[in-house]
Structure 1
């Protein structure tokens, strides 16, 4: 007596489900990409009048590649920098200063000034100067 198998395994692969998934991914990326580009265009920044805010010279600390420190373009010793900076910024409402350093300035000198800012909770910006 010969028994026949009822379940045969098909060696064929159906691409119908794969095309559905690719089509859905295509729609998803088209919708998200158009939403991202539209949100960047629709941003409108508020206008500020410069007459309301008095112009204030920003406090700067310049560091040369030799390790010399300058507070507002006046030479200052490294040991006196923190005292003088606190004295200058104590009279200002916005306690912010800028570090201007040559690109060959040792990293430790910049970190020294950043530690002063962190200790006194000052805001700072970092700029670099390139020698031509």
Structure 2
């Protein structure tokens, strides 16, 4: 007597999981390619199209085109900049300060102020002009 199997294994290949994988790869490559193609050419940092009213911080570090630093409109030597910022910001519950950099100042001067914020884990905002 010959016994027949009721459940036969299907020889078909399901493409449903393959299409899911291809779709996820497509999304991954689209996201990474748009991140790579971002260019810093013709970027004018001191201008912004929108204004964020939630950022209101009384402590400001101003950097003029000559590379001079001002903390709350008082000229401060570069060597004392960190000490003055720490004195003004340390007591607040959310220590942050704003960098107001001239459009023609050197990038290294702005980075120096940003490194102070990073070192002390302060919040940081960069002021721009609304277009």
TM-score in terms of structure 1 length:
0.53
Task: State the match for 1:81 in structure 2.
Answer: 81
Task: Report what 1:105 is aligned to.
Answer: 105
Matched, 1:64 2:64: yes
Where does residue 31 of structure 2 map in the other structure? none
1:11 maps to what in 2?
none
Compare CA radii of gyration and give the structure with the larger one: 1
Are the equivalent residues in 2 in contact too, given 1:103–1:128 (CA < 8 A)?
Answer: no
- Name segments (4+ residues, structure 1) moved above 4 Å: none
More helix by share: 1
Number of aligned residue pairs: give it. Answer: 75
2:122 is the counterpart of 1:122: yes
Match of 1:91 in 2: 91
Deviation at 1:95, TM superposition (A): 0.3
